[in-house]
């Protein structure tokens, strides 16, 4: 039997080349080798405010893009998360064995909330060191002097706690807790393999931890999944900043190439893409911007890095960018043609069939969970 694979994407923002090259392109291959389950995680999307009409529209759009890219519902299970209610039921059960410490260490929570306990701890220690340093070894210092000093330095500590309190209280519970729902998504299907980028491995580790914790407390129930680190195209960086990944939520429109961009938009974005000093076309860590563009070229054209370097041995950035733009345009044209021919009705039919198939698996798993936890049947 094939190993079971689970992967998902949120229906927010516009999918771009980084999404395709870093994930979807590999899923098309993986669906041949695994029992693949692909999910549009709309429950995750609402951890930040969403317009309901836009959310519905984006959900359909994302599925159409999956299909246009080569995801085949005859070879995989494709569905929307909210249509299989066992996801939320299992998430609640897993919440009861999760610890706040499991979640506060999550990088995305730290980034979006400002709640970095390691940083806060360092600031508190520094404030206490200031108090100890200022109050020690000074002849003639009285208790009143020390009290004034602590009140003065202690204000820094109070400020730190106040900021921490404000940051934590302003963050939605969904943002804090969504890694548990992500673990439920994975564990619900006895997933053995989860393809992820390096930035998501932390979430896979949480799913593994919760699976082991549940099994130890209630008996063997869940498969402990393995993260499959994406390599090909895993780090497609922003066209405007090669130090950061291409992002759906980037402020600049010149950060990414959307899968729906027309030819002229693609050419304009590639032309404006940042490059490194010099003009030689070489694949080098010392030229991260050019390295990123060459990665895009090779992944879409099938040529090797060596091929590209040879092709542009006596040419400059201008020639390379012009040709890269055409490589991207030639990839997007047939993709967009397929996308245009997929109807909402076709998508809804595929999603219903996928949800029915996923639900059959999820129901069986939740029967075992309920029994092992001690719920009445």
Catalytic choice (3, 105, 110, 112): 112
The three-state (H, E, C) secondary structure of 174-201, written as one string: HHHHHHHHHHHHHHCCCCCEEEECHHHH
The confidence score (pLDDT) of residue 231 equals: 60
Dist. CA 226–CA 204, nearest whole Å: 7
110 is an active site residue: no
Dist. CA 327–CA 21, nearest whole Å: 14
The confidence score (pLDDT) of residue 152 equals: 58
Catalytic choice (245, 269, 321, 365): 245
> Is there a common fold for 4-101+175-229+343-373 and 263-340?
no
CATH homologous superfamily for the domain 4-101+175-229+343-373? HUPs (3.40.50.620)
Catalytic choice (75, 105, 110, 248): 248
Instruction: Compute CA distances 266 → 210, 219, 247, whole Å.
Output: 44, 54, 16
The confidence score (pLDDT) of residue 170 equals: 78
Dist. CA 186–CA 6, nearest whole Å: 6
Cα–chain center distance at 201 = 10
248 is an active site residue: yes
The confidence score (pLDDT) of residue 300 equals: 92
Tell me how crowded residue 40 is: count the other CB atoms within 10 A of its CB: 26
End-to-end CA distance of the chain: 31
Query: Which among 11, 109, 99 is positioned nearest to 56, based on CA atoms?
Result: 11
For residues 261 and 332, is the Cβ–Cβ distance under 8 A? yes
The confidence score (pLDDT) of residue 104 equals: 77
The SS3 assignment for 191 reads coil
Cα–chain center distance at 278 = 34
DSSP per residue, 11-42:
S-S--BHHHIIIIIHHHHHHHHHSEEEEEE-H
Rg (CA), the chain: 25
Instruction: Compute CA distances 215 → 73, 103, 371, 377, whole Å.
Output: 32, 20, 13, 20
Query: Which among 212, 214, 216 is positioned nearest to 225, based on CA atoms?
Result: 212
Segments making up each domain of the chain, as ranges:
4-101+175-229+343-373, 116-170, 263-340
Both tokens assigned to 119: 């940083």
Dist. CA 36–CA 184, nearest whole Å: 17
Query: Which among 165, 156, 167 is positioned nearest to 125, based on CA atoms?
Result: 156
Q: What is the pLDDT along the chain (377 residues), one digit of tens a residue?
A: 899 999 999 997 688 998 888 888 888 999 999 999 999 999 999 998 999 999 999 999 999 999 999 999 999 999 999 999 999 999 999 999 999 888 878 777 766 666 666 666 676 666 665 665 565 555 665 556 655 655 555 556 667 667 777 777 777 888 889 999 999 999 999 999 998 877 788 899 999 999 999 999 999 999 999 998 766 555 789 999 998 888 877 888 999 999 999 999 999 999 999 998 888 999 998 999 999 999 999 999 989 999 999 999 989 999 999 999 999 999 999 999 999 999 999 999 999 999 999 999 999 999 999 999 999 98
The confidence score (pLDDT) of residue 100 equals: 85
- Tokens 């998504």 correspond to 185
Dist. CA 240–CA 246, nearest whole Å: 9
Helix (H) / strand (E) containing 291 = helix 288-301
Packing angle, helices 344-373 and 86-95, rounded to 10? 40
- Quickly name the fold that domain 263-340 has: Tyrosyl-Transfer RNA Synthetase (1.10.240)
Dist. CA 59–CA 62, nearest whole Å: 5
245 is an active site residue: yes
Both tokens assigned to 274: 């940042």
């Amino acid at each position: 039997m094939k190993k079971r694979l689970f992967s998902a994407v949120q229906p927010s923002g516009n999918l771009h080349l980084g999404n395709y090259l870093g994930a979807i392109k590999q899923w098309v291959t993986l669906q041949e080798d695994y029992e693949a389950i692909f999910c549009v995680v709309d429950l995750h999307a609402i951890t930040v405010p969403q317009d309901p009409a836009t959310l519905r529209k984006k959900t359909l759009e994302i599925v159409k893009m999956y299909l246009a890219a080569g995801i085949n519902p005859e070879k995989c299970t494709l569905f929307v998360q909210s249509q299989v209610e066992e996801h939320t039921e299992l998430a609640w059960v897993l919440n009861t064995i999760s610890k706040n410490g499991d979640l506060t260490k999550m990088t995305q929570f730290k980034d979006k909330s400002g709640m970095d306990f390691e940083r806060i701890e360092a600031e508190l220690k520094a404030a206490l060191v200031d108090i100890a340093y200022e109050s020690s070894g000074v002849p003639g210092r009285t208790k009143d002097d020390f009290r004034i000093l602590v009140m003065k330095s202690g204000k820094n500590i109070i400020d730190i706690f106040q900021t921490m309190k404000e940051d934590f209280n302003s963050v939605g519970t969904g943002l804090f807790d969504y890694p548990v729902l992500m673990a439920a998504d994975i564990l619900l299907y006895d997933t053995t393999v989860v393809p992820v980028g390096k930035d998501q491995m932390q979430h896979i580790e949480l799913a593994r931890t919760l699976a082991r914790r549940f099994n130890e407390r209630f008996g063997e129930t869940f498969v402990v999944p393995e993260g499959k680190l994406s390599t090909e195209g895993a780090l497609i960086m922003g066209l405007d900043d090669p130090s950061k990944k291409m992002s759906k939520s980037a402020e600049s429109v010149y950060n990414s190439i959307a899968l729906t961009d027309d030819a002229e938009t693609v050419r304009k974005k590639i032309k404006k893409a940042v490059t490194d000093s010099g003009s030689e076309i070489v694949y080098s860590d010392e030229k991260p911007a050019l390295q990123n563009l060459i990665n895009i070229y090779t992944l879409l054209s099938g040529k090797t890095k060596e091929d590209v370097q040879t092709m542009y041995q006596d040419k400059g950035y201008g020639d390379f960018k012009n040709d890269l733009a055409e490589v991207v345009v030639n990839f997007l044209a047939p993709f967009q043609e397929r996308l245009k021919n997929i109807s909402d009705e076709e998508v809804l039919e595929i999603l219903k069939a996928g949800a029915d198939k996923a639900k059959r698996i999820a129901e069986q798993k939740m029967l075992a969970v309920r029994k092992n936890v001690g719920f009445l049947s």
